[in-house]
Structure 1
């Protein structure tokens, strides 16, 4: 279950007060429905006010909440059938990235994504969603297989970053991510990606060079996490909230900057509040996007993909 964030405590306290009042009514046979109704109206107003005026750091906190749908949750909700495929055919299977072939809207699709755990034990097994190079090589193997059989590719991004340990570097972490960027740029099938939670650095980008990039309302996507940026800029990681504001890493910022194509609305308070509704929304967007992309000749799609990433950013020549 999602934990309660500091800024959500007034909402929780008001909900508890409403429940206590309802219990008091039932126990004593009193009619306090008018008071309950006023409190519920106040709760609705407070909820709107809270979630409509979140800071960048509060959005980052929501993106990290346990209980948000993972890649396997999305796969279960969007696919009528799914076969998971394992291994990079070189070193081992990396459980922090999952992938395979599924049926969406009656059509075969390759699905790949970062996978976090639900508890400490599973998070250790999944390495907290931080992939090793063999994870990215597994992803690339599945992408190339999709290209061979003409299947579109759907990616789910949710990682604090690629695993930075010595073992990963020794096995070519940077090369594995760079190879994915190169291959994704020229993949001759339609591709879409969703930033569903955290989108940290090259670890996220290793699944992110796609025809369409969608970002969930409370997700973030950046070259570096706010804590790390604060440690570099101000030598103080506790300045993370300040860093999050100036870095412009939230969903609305990403759409404004042209990094993401569209902001996907989440249930009030975040995907963790109603995972089933979030999965249903994503499923509809996948079907809509794949139908749109399927109408375009592949060479036109590749040209648009190339132009999309070349046109990102602003600069001045002197």
Structure 2
């Protein structure tokens, strides 16, 4: 079981609860009462802990090794997902996945970054850090969706675009910049959801949408807390302070009008109940799609441009 530091007091109580349940007999009313009291104490502690998480703690939760990734959500919410491969130029980037899938009778083009569960998968997926061909594959699929009038869903979960020399040689910056430009002008509805880490241009490269949403325990920022700490303090030791200063949580982003909504997670995080979390994501997608589908393509594009152009503008 993968436990974060702030989860350990809860885990200790849950272990004690299991021991009490094992020892308790059906007829022992005193022990049964103690079990119920401990269950209530655990629930209260969970609520207090997870409702008051710091920015850094939410960053930790977003990186939880058991947290659902893009393909987990895709297989839960779609009935017949068909993955499409390659950018038709260099290669098929395994860090970026995409394809067609049906949700409640509506076909969507679904694109997202994919991390790995074990060492082999992490190497294959490059830790969710896409190369230029990954962003070019994403754009190819978006243009295909536009051609066939299919709405687009993107799942954002990356520590950043791959910063290697070979990625820069193949035009990493140009690939991301082109995605930003082209996504503004897509005629179909675009719904973007941050499901884990949303770092820098690597996240933004597939995050220009009519609706940009964040799961409750995710983060979205121009830089990670560790990198920010290493730049400002010349050390990673101040990452917790950096996480607070960066205002990277869903609540911060919503208050700054940089996203359109927050998707509630089950108590303890998305990894504690994948099916429940998937149903919430599915509901949010369909609700927003129905709303966006009422608009004309011209109205959607105009609203999309206006929304992003208003970010960072200060009126005195």
User: What is aligned with 1:56?
Assistant: 55
User: Whole-Å Cα distance in 1 between the matches of residues 82 and 143 of structure 2?
Assistant: 17
User: Whole-Å Cα distance in 2 between the matches of residues 145 and 53 of structure 1?
Assistant: 43
Moved more, 77-86 or 198-207: 77-86
TM (norm. structure 1) is 0.97
**Is 1:131 matched with 2:130?**
yes
Where do residues 117-266 of structure 1 align in structure 2 (5 Å cutoff)? 117-266=116-265
**Is 1:116 matched with 2:111?**
no
User: Whole-Å Cα distance in 1 between the matches of residues 297 and 314 of structure 2?
Assistant: 30
Return the offset for 1:195: 0.2
Return the offset for 1:149: 0.6
The answer to whether the Cα contact below 8 Å between 1:69 and 1:279 also exists between their aligned partners in 2 is no
User: What is aligned with 1:314?
Assistant: 313
**Is 1:288 matched with 2:292?**
no
User: Whole-Å Cα distance in 2 between the matches of residues 142 and 78 of structure 1?
Assistant: 19
Query: What do the CA deviations read for 1:270-292 (whole angstroms, capped 9, x no partner)?
Result: 10111111111000111111111
User: What is aligned with 1:66?
Assistant: 65
> 3-state SS of the aligned residue for 1:81?
coil
Q: How many residues align?
A: 315
TM (norm. structure 2) is 0.97
User: What is aligned with 1:81?
Assistant: 80
Return the offset for 1:314: 3.5
Return the offset for 1:77: 1.3
User: Whole-Å Cα distance in 2 between the matches of residues 104 and 33 of structure 1?
Assistant: 45
Question: What is the root-mean-square deviation of aligned Cα atoms in Å?
Answer: 1.3
**Is 1:93 matched with 2:109?**
no
The answer to whether the Cα contact below 8 Å between 1:103 and 1:109 also exists between their aligned partners in 2 is yes
Query: What do the CA deviations read for 1:72-114 (whole angstroms, capped 9, x no partner)?
Result: 1111111111110000000000000000111112121100000
Return the offset for 1:241: 0.4
> 3-state SS of the aligned residue for 2:281?
helix
Return the offset for 1:35: 0.8
Query: What do the CA deviations read for 1:226-252 (whole angstroms, capped 9, x no partner)?
Result: 000011111111110000001100011
The answer to whether the Cα contact below 8 Å between 1:77 and 1:283 also exists between their aligned partners in 2 is no
Return the offset for 1:213: 0.3
User: Whole-Å Cα distance in 1 between the matches of residues 34 and 73 of structure 2?
Assistant: 40
**Is 1:34 matched with 2:18?**
no
> 3-state SS of the aligned residue for 1:199?
strand
Q: Which runs of 5+ in 1 are unaligned?
A: none
Where in structure 1 do 4 or more consecutive aligned residues deviate above 2 Å? 28-31, 314-317
Return the offset for 1:315: 3.4
